[in-house]
Chain A
């Protein structure tokens, strides 16, 4: 398979040397798994540590005196609540209340914010954001190519990462970050992740990617760290019921339907899409995202149809085996009348209707 037209992270060669099985992920040549396999990679992250290359994510700087004003007007969460060194999860919404992308907003200071967006939507987001700027005094910079992003996640992540910085890592709270030296180079050290585990995401200049990756892998060996690919990243986020853009979120899906009401601060003042979200909330949701567990043997997969009795009521947005829970789970959009814990549904798995049950989410929550 030719990978000439695919984008590559600075760790592409490292993945190949590690035996990564490379796939086209939204135009990026990425490892879906390494030689240990997705189950081992998933379990290592839950019980020890996993190392992830997430350099494909996009980084957009918003700088200038109106940085907060702009980002508050194009995203759903309340940027005015962030303090220096804090980040939050948010959504870029369109005029009809759909989601252009989900993202992290980092506040460095009142005139400097970093938006971290999905890889395959970076160009779309850039076009969207630049076209929505009104008279705000800001400078936008798409710095995606300049950065590598490496995530170390799992119960041993902190101990492993601590070997590379003088920053006392336990003092960085969840969804906070600091700018300091990591493994001898300038880095953003962020206590965030997409696995449901404690851990850090390290942003540094792309040229240091191999050094940081190899050093973390080597230092983590005694703790049982494994490099983990996109397949494990997906099963880990699904067990934790975190949304994946293109599945639980899209231009046509409201963040309210996707269970992200907690990042939609409708009272914060005007923002793009707010009117629609307020209206939707007043009129009441018709459909909603729920978690389910298979009762029958069999695995529900993305886009399979959901039934109650003979009536088709919805579809699976993400479905997979859950390696840590050892169950087959999924997320589905169903009418609110059906969205009740304990409700039995059936899922059309290649022509067979298999029984499943709606359960509370997240499916997995780590012990603190």
Chain B
């Protein structure tokens, strides 16, 4: 069973979003990290880069595979998690905590309302 925290919003591409005011913190879900296997490299954009909804902003690579990651939310990157350069395994160990990837200043602060709730994401996963 995947860990799906109640307080987050989810995308069908298996990203999570935590909204705090106009800033959204973005990472990948427990399901996503488990599917990938041991993560060895995370390629992230720079602070100041802007992305539209559902645009690829980087990639997560495991030993076996590479997976693009998408911004569920449009906006400007205010901060990236540089620590993942040195400890990409955080993505496996703590996908909702230490392995947050981006903070984005949302272009539309209500955009996350359209994302899946924890319950909806769980149902989505069970139909996969």
Q: Which residues of A contact B (CB under 8 A)?
A: 21, 32-33, 37-40, 42, 231, 235, 297-299, 301, 320-321, 323, 328, 350
The reply to whether A299 and B41 contact each other, CB–CB distance below 8 Å, is yes
> B112: CB under 8 A from chain A?
no
- B residues sitting closer than 8 Å to A (CB atoms) are 37-38, 40-41, 43, 59, 61-64, 66, 85, 92
Contacts of B92 in A (CB 8 A): 37
Task: List 4 extra interface pairs beyond A231-B63, A321-B40, A321-B61, CB under 8 A.
Answer: A37-B92, A39-B38, A297-B43, A298-B43
**Would B64 and A38 count as touching, CB distance under 8 A?**
yes
Most buried by A among B37, B38, B61, B66: B38
Partner of B66, one of A21, A32, A301: A301
Contacts known (A298-B43, A301-B66); A38 close to B59, Cβ less than 8 A: no
**Shortest beta-carbon distance from B10 to chain A in Å:** 23
- The answer on a CB contact under 8 Å between B38 and A37 is yes
Once bound together, how far apart are the Cα atoms of A80 and B59, in whole Å? 52
Measured between beta carbons, the chain A residues less than 8 angstroms from B38 are 37-40, 323
B41 contact from A21, A33, A42, A298, Cβ within 8 A: A298
The minimal Cβ–Cβ distance linking B123 to chain A, given in whole angstroms, is 20
Report yes or no: B63 in contact with A321, Cβ–Cβ below 8 A: yes
Determine how close the nearest CB of chain A comes to the CB of B94; give it in whole angstroms: 15
A32 CA / B63 CA spacing, docked (Å): 11
Inter-chain contact B37/A297, CB cutoff 8 Å: no
Min distance, Cβ A112 to any Cβ of chain B, angstroms: 39
A-B contact pairs, 24 of them (CB 8 A): A21-B37, A32-B64, A37-B37, A37-B38, A38-B37, A38-B38, A38-B62, A39-B38, A39-B63, A42-B63, A231-B63, A231-B64, A297-B41, A297-B85, A298-B41, A298-B43, A299-B61, A320-B63, A320-B64, A321-B63, A323-B38, A328-B41, A350-B59, A350-B66
Set of chain A residues within 8 Å of B85, measured between Cβ atoms: 297
Are B63 and A323 in contact (CB-based, < 8 A)? yes
Which 7 residue pairs of A and B lie closest in terms of their CB atoms, listed nearest first?
A: A39-B38, A38-B63, A321-B40, A37-B38, A231-B64, A299-B61, A321-B63
- Give Cα A297 to B40, complex, Å: 11
CB distance from B37 to the nearest CB of A (A): 6
A299 touches B40 (CB 8 A): yes
Residues of B within 8 A of A42 (CB): 63
> How many Å lie between the Cα of A42 and that of B64 in the bound state?
13
B41 and A321 within 8 A (CB)? yes
How far is B95's CA from A152's CA once the two chains are assembled, in angstroms?
Answer: 34
Chain B residue numbers with a CB within 8 Å of A328 are: 41
- List chain B residues, Cβ under 8 A from A297: 41, 43, 85
Q: Using CB atoms, name the residue of chain B closest to A235.
A: B63
Residue in A closest to B89 when the chains form the complex, CB atoms: A39
The answer to whether A33 and B37 have CB atoms under 8 Å apart is: yes
Kindly state the separation between the CA atoms of A301 and B64 in the bound complex, as whole angstroms. 9
Q: How far is the CA of A320 from the CA of B37 in the complex (A)?
A: 14
Residues of B contacting A321 in the complex (Cβ-Cβ under 8 angstroms)? 40-41, 61, 63
Assembly CA distance A350 to B59 (angstroms): 10
Identify the closest chain B residue to A42 (Cβ): B63
In the complex, what residues of A have CB within 8 A of residue B61's CB?
A: 299, 321
* Cα–Cα distance between A341 and B37 once the two chains are bound (Å): 33
> Which residues does chain B contribute within 8 Å of A298, judged by CB atoms?
41, 43
The interface residues of chain B lying within 8 Å CB-to-CB of A37 are: 37-38, 92
Closest to A352 in B: B43
Q: Distance in Å from the Cβ of B41 to the closest Cβ of chain A?
A: 6
B89 to chain A, nearest CB (A): 8
Closest chain B residue to A322 by CB distance?
B63
B118 nearest CB across to chain A (Å): 25
Closest to A232 in B: B63
Decide yes or no: A231 and B41 within 8 Å by CB, A32-B64, A38-B63, A301-B66 being known contacts.
no
Q: CA–CA, A42 to B66, complex, Å? A: 19
Cβ of A323: which chain B residues have Cβ within 8 Å of it?
38, 63
A231 CA / B64 CA spacing, docked (Å): 7
Nearest A residue to B59 via CB reads A350
In the complex, A40 Cα to B38 Cα: how many Å?
A: 9
- When the two chains form their complex, are residues B40 and A231 in contact, meaning their CB atoms are under 8 A apart? no
